[in-house]
Amino acid sequence: MSIRLVECIPNFSEGRRMEVVEQILDAITSMEGVVVLDRHSDPDHNRTVVTFVGPPEAVDEAAFRGIARAAELIDLNQHEGEHPRIGATDVVPFVPIEGVTMAECIEMARRLGKRVGEELGIPVYLYEKAATRPERENLENIRRGEYEALKEEIGKHPARDPDFGPARVGPAGATVIGARDPLIAFNVYLTTDDVSIASKIARAVRHSSGGLRYVKALGMLVEGRAQVSMNLTNYRKTPIARVVELIRREAQRYGVAVHHSELVGLAPQEALIEAARWYLQLDAFEPEQILERRLYSALQEKPLPETPEPTFLDELAAGTPTPGGGSAAAYTAAAGAALVAMVGRLTVGKKKYKAVEPQVWPILERAEEVRRELEALVSEDAAAFEAVMAARRLPKATEEQKAARQQAILEATRKAAQVPLRTARLAAEVLDLAGQMAAIGNLNAVTDAGTAAALAHAALTGATLNVRINSLDLPAEEARALLDEVHALVQQAETRYAEVMRTVHTRAGLD
C-alpha cells in the first residue's frame, strides 16, 4: 500500500504561555495517526508554529481540534506581539508530501474551512492555491490591518466577507486556511536595533516592492535587535543563499551587518544542501556524497534493529532542564500509589482476607485515582518550569516590557510552586493509603506496602524542595503561606512514615 502524507503547519497566536501551547498540542495529538515534527514558540512574536504530518483524513481532523482548542484559550483582544495576526489560529496551510496531490490539499482546505465556519462560528478566508479570489492568494492582503482592522471592517466592506462562517469576529478572530507548496520561514538578524533599517532591507528584498521573486519580508524589532522576517515561497527558484547575500549587501549600505539568521520550523533538506553548495562553491557536488544520505540508502536495503523508545528515566537522565526533580517526585509518588493498588488486588478475592475486603476496596480505588493525578503532574511539572523559562526570555528593552516580563515571571513562578505542592499533598495521601494497606492487606505483600510508603515519603521530600526553591521568587506573604503548608506536610509525613514502618516491621516479623 502506498503512503499518503500531508503536512500541516498551523500558526497559533500564543508564544508566551506554554501551558496554553501544550493544551493545543494535546488537542492535535489526540488524533491517532498524526505525528508532530516540530514546534517553534517565539515570545516576541507571541506566536507558535506547529508542524505535523499524517494521512489526509487524520491531519484534517487534528487541524480542526487544534483550531477549536485555540479558540477556547486565546483571546485576540488581549494579544500583543510583533507578528501580524488576525486569529487565535492565524493561518493553517496544507502541504502535499507524498501520495497526495495539490488538488486534494485544496479540497482539504475548503472542507476544513467550511467546518470551522459552521461548527465554531469563526470567519474563514481561503488563501494561496485554495483561494476563491485572486487577491486572496497573498496572505498579506487578507491580514492587512490585522485583527483590529478586521474587527471594524468585517460585515461592512464586501472585500472583507469571509469564504465561510459569519461576517463578524469574536475573541478568537478569524482563520486563514489554504494549500501551498513547501515554504521556508527564515529570519535574518542585524547588528543594530534600528528597525527602520530592517524595514528598508525588507522592502528591497521582497517581491511585492521590486525585490526577489518568491520572497515575502517585513522589518521587525525582536529581543532588541532589528530583524528581517521572511517567508521564502519557492526555495528552488530563489535559493536561501541568494536572499542572504542580498540582505548582506543592503545592510552594508546602512553601515550594519548580518548578526545571525534563524530557521523557523522545518525546511526541506534540498534547500540547505543548495545553500552549502553555493557558499562552498561545490560545483561537482552530488547529494549522495552526504554521509547520512548514503547511510539512509544502505539502511533501506538492510535495516538495523529497532531502537526502543526512550523511557521517562531516559528523558530524566538526558541532561535537559526538563523533566527534572519535580517530575521525578510525581513519578515516584505515582509508583507508590501503584504499589498500594497492587497490594490491594493481591488482597481482595482471597478467602483469608474476606473480612477486610470492604475496607480494602476504597483504598485501592483511591490509590488508582491518585496515581492518575500524579501521572498527569509528571508532564505538568515540566511544562510549568518551561513556562518560567519562557517568561524569563521575554523582551525587556522598555519599561513596559520589563513590567510585563516581571508579571509573566511572577505568574509562571506561582504555577511552578503550586504544581509540586499538589504533588506533595498527593504524596502525603499515598503515604497514608500505604499505611492503611500495610495494616490490613495481604501479609505476603506487606513489604510492598512499606515500599509504597518509602516512595511516597521520598516524593514528598523532593516535591517540597521544589516548592521551597520557587517560593524564593515570590512575594514574602505568598512564600510564607506556601512554606507553612510545606512545613506541616513534612512534619505530618515524618510521623506517619514512622508509624507505617513500625506496622510493616511488626507484621513482616522484621523486628
Q: Which three cell numbers stand for residue 359?
A: 475496607
Mean pLDDT check: name the lowest of 110-124, 281-295, 324-338, 475-489: 281-295
User: What is the maximum span of the chain, computed from C-alpha positions, in angstroms?
Assistant: 90
Task: Return the closest-CA partner of residue 385 out of 55, 107, 126, 22.
Answer: 22
Distance CA 48, CA 347 (A): 50
Secondary structure element (H or E) that encloses residue 439, with its range: helix 399-440
pLDDT at 268: 85
Q: By CB neighbour count within 10 A (0-12 exposed, 13-18 middle, 19+ buried), where does 459 fall?
A: buried
174 close to 150: Cβ distance less than 8 angstroms: yes
| Higher pLDDT among residues 477 and 288, named by residue | 477
Pick the most confident of 191-200, 257-266, 305-314: 191-200
Distance CA 344, CA 438 (A): 10
Of 3.40.50.2000, 3.30.70.670, 3.90.226.10, 1.10.730.10, which CATH number belongs to 184-301? Answer: 3.30.70.670
Instruction: Give the pLDDT band of residue 230 (cuts 50, 70, 90).
Output: very high
pLDDT single digits (tens) 350-394? 999 999 999 999 999 999 999 999 999 999 999 999 999 999 999
Domain boundaries, the chain: 5-179, 184-301, 319-508
pLDDT single digits (tens) 65-108? 999 999 999 999 999 998 999 999 999 999 998 889 999 999 99
Average pLDDT rounded to a whole number, residues 290-302: 82
pLDDT single digits (tens) 407-438? 999 999 999 999 999 999 999 999 999 999 99
Distance CA 21, CA 69 (A): 10
Q: Which three cell numbers stand for residue 350?
A: 482471597
Whether the predicted pLDDT of 244 surpasses 90 = yes
* 21, amino acid identity: V
Task: Return the closest-CA partner of residue 260 out of 242, 238, 279, 244.
Answer: 244
Q: By CB neighbour count within 10 A (0-12 exposed, 13-18 middle, 19+ buried), where does 62 fall?
A: buried
Helix (H) and strand (E) counts in the chain? 15, 11
* 3-state SS assignment for residue 392: helix
* 84, amino acid identity: P
Count other C-beta atoms under 10 Å from residue 353's C-beta. Answer: 17
Superfamily holding 5-179: Formiminotransferase, N-terminal subdomain (3.30.990.10)
Task: Return the closest-CA partner of residue 240 out of 298, 189, 310, 187.
Answer: 187
Average pLDDT rounded to a whole number, residues 229-233: 93
Distance CA 101, CA 108 (A): 11
Report how far Cα 83 is from the mean position of its chain's Cα atoms. 18
Q: Which three cell numbers stand for residue 481?
A: 503561606
pLDDT at 302: 77
pLDDT at 511: 77
Active site residues: 83, 381
12 close to 50: Cβ distance less than 8 angstroms: yes
pLDDT single digits (tens) 25-38? 999 999 999 999 99
Whether the predicted pLDDT of 20 surpasses 70 = yes
Any idea which fold 319-508 has?
Answer: Four Helix Bundle (Hemerythrin (Met), subunit A) (1.20.120)
This prediction has a pTM of: 0.52
3-state secondary structure 137-174: CCHHHHHCCHHHHHHHHCCCCHHHCCCECCCCCCCCEC
Give percent of the chain above pLDDT 70. Answer: 99
175 close to 115: Cβ distance less than 8 angstroms: no
Q: Report H helices in 206-304.
A: 240-253, 269-280, 291-301
* 3-state SS assignment for residue 40: strand
Average pLDDT rounded to a whole number, residues 200-212: 96
Whether the predicted pLDDT of 2 surpasses 70 = no
